[in-house]
Amino acid sequence: MAIENSELYEDLRIKVEELQCKTTELEQANKVKDDFLGVVSHELRTPINVIMGYTSLFKDGFFGDVKPKQEDALAKIARESKDLLVMINSVLHATALETEWARLETEEFSVASLLQELRANYAVTAPQQLNLYWNYPTNSPPLRTDCRMLKQILDNLIGNAVKFTEQGMVTITARVGSKDLSCEGAGNISESAPLCPQSTLFEFEVADTGVGIPSERLGKIFDKFYQVDSSETRRFGGVGIGLYIAKKFAELLGGRITVESREGIGSKFTLTVPCELGAENYSESTTHPPAAP
């Protein structure tokens, strides 16, 4: 019996060592993959930014008058270039999250300036048949959080709404206040994380009249590389990590994202993030007309 137990123990020890070696090999392979993706994605951003820069100069007439047909072509180049840059940035951000490169860098910023920058970007890249309505405070106090991460979340949510809304409207709303939203939520809602209790919240909503999300898939849309339509003939592009990144960044900021959606009707994504408030008074929100194409 003692000999049998000794043999079993030796077999078990060998198996454990083999598993440990396999685990180490897999971890090293994943690190090589992540490093490769990070380097390649970073190198791809430079030429894409050059293409976008020259496209903007052409559209602005820097190289001479632009004819209507040329304007349409330049608009398409701008849209496709931005989509490609978003994909590249998404791969970089996903790699950073997996390898713990992501670090909070708190800074003071203006809500109005942040939203105006996003609005200007989508005025160029959003399809002409789509109306974008912007509603945000124009003179709110400065806030403190990681503005880089916050902007990426907002860009991902807006870009997602624009992509899945072929016609109709996308409404973007931002608020600054102290209301505790941690207990709200009912109906067809999927939460990415509980809200950390804070006195000041930045709330951001993106509502669209797009294709909507089937109720049985709501719980999966924040998964990495998940595609609502994964068929070979799917109508919408992307790599399926935009919402994954938005969720992870929101959690790093101590916030959460919720979503309400009805298939064929549209979706509403709501981001709530705790922030430090720089001043007491700010103006009422202002509704802005659809951005010019």
| Domain end call among 40, 69, 98 | 98
How many domains are there within the chain?
A: 2
Q: Can you give the pLDDT at residue 181?
A: 44
Q: Do 250 and 115 have their domain in common?
A: yes
Q: Can you give the pLDDT at residue 94?
A: 72
**Cβ within 8 Å of residue 134, ≥6 positions away:** 115, 119, 172, 287, 288, 291
Residue-wise DSSP of 144-174: EE-HHHHHHHHHHHHHHHHHT-SSEEEEEEE
Q: Can you give the pLDDT at residue 28?
A: 73
- Token digits for 231? 């068929």
What sign for the dihedral angle of Cα 231, 234, 238, 241? negative
Its domain, for residue 211, covers 107-288
Pairing of strands 189-191, 266-274: unpaired
For residue 243, count other CB atoms closer than 10 A to its CB.
Answer: 24
pLDDT in tens, 184-222: 433 333 444 444 444 678 999 999 999 999 888 888 898
Closest CA to 195 of 209, 185, 181: 181
Q: Do 65 and 170 have their domain in common?
A: no
- Token digits for 38? 């990070």
Instruction: Report the distance separating Cα 282 and Cα 142, nearest Å.
Output: 10
Instruction: Report the distance separating Cα 285 and Cα 137, nearest Å.
Output: 4
Q: Can you give the pLDDT at residue 196?
A: 45
Q: Can you give the pLDDT at residue 278?
A: 66
180, 197 Cβ separation under 8 angstroms: yes
The CATH number of residue 23's host domain is 1.10.287
Beta bridge partners of 285: 137
- DSSP helix/strand/coil, 55: helix
The CATH number of residue 197's host domain is 3.30.565.10
Q: Can you give the pLDDT at residue 203?
A: 93
| Domain end call among 81, 98, 115 | 98
Q: Do 93 and 199 have their domain in common?
A: no
CA torsion 185→187→190→191, rounded to 10°?
A: 10
- From residue 143, how far is each of 85, 195, 220, 224, 291 by CA, in Å? 28, 18, 32, 30, 25
Q: Do 25 and 125 have their domain in common?
A: no
Q: Do 60 and 158 have their domain in common?
A: no
| Domain end call among 66, 98, 130 | 98
Instruction: Report the distance separating Cα 280 and Cα 251, nearest Å.
Output: 26
- Token digits for 264? 């064929």
pLDDT per residue as tens, the chain (293 positions): 666 667 777 778 788 888 888 888 777 766 666 666 666 666 777 888 888 888 888 888 888 888 888 888 888 888 888 878 877 777 777 766 766 556 788 889 999 999 999 999 888 777 778 899 999 988 888 898 999 899 999 999 999 999 899 889 999 999 987 554 443 433 333 444 444 444 678 999 999 999 999 888 888 898 887 776 554 434 555 567 889 889 989 998 999 999 999 999 999 999 999 998 765 544 444 555 554 44
Q: Do 111 and 90 have their domain in common?
A: no
Beta bridge partners of 109: 143
Instruction: Report the distance separating Cα 261 and Cα 165, nearest Å.
Output: 13
Q: Can you give the pLDDT at residue 198?
A: 45
